[in-house]
Amino acid sequence: MKGSHLFLCLFSMCCWVNLMPTAGNKILHFGACRVSMSMTEIRAGFTAIKANIQARDPIRTLSILSHPHSLHKVNSSDRCCITHHLFNFYVDKVFKHCKTEDSYVNRKISSIANSFLSMKRKLEQCHEQNQCLCGQESTEKFKQILANYEGLNVTNAAMKSLGELDILLDWMEKSP
């Protein structure tokens, strides 16, 4: 009997720990979808390589994420959808083409990519539960981001997108 109480206590603690955000995690709200993400870890990784990545960007006059209508003034109901698209975009397109000769930079990129992959999965769950509906506005804004990206050489576009990661992180943290 004593063992079953101990098991129940340990099981309860494990469940509680798994439900609590870990240190440095932030609960982000994307419409009806709420996800926990380690913004501190991602920002630290990005800050460590930002100058290196941005120095590789040969086109300073164009922005992929800061186009006048890309992420600005997104309706609350469309935030989940566009965020879902953006995580898919970064995981499927950007990180695959961001390789450098510097192993330290590559490790940081890989760490950020793993965090994005985890978020992508969480947002897919929201999407599958119909909590992440895509309206015309989010679809149009994402099409603009893709057009900006596809207008460049793949490697340059990937480095530029990675160099603009702080724009995305700032936008995500401003979520209502």
List pLDDT tens digits, range 80-91.
888 999 999 999
How do residues 1-26 score in pLDDT, each as one tens digit?
Answer: 555 554 444 444 443 334 444 456 88
Q: Is 73 left (phi over 0), alpha (psi -120 to 50) or beta?
A: left
Looking at per-residue pLDDT, the higher value among 36 and 74 belongs to 36
**Over the stretch 134-156, which tens digit does the pLDDT of each residue have?**
888 888 889 989 999 999 999 99
Tell me if the domain spanning 25-173 has CATH number 3.40.50.300.
Answer: no
Ranking 37-41, 55-59, 65-69, 131-135 by mean pLDDT, the lowest is 65-69
This prediction's pTM? 0.81
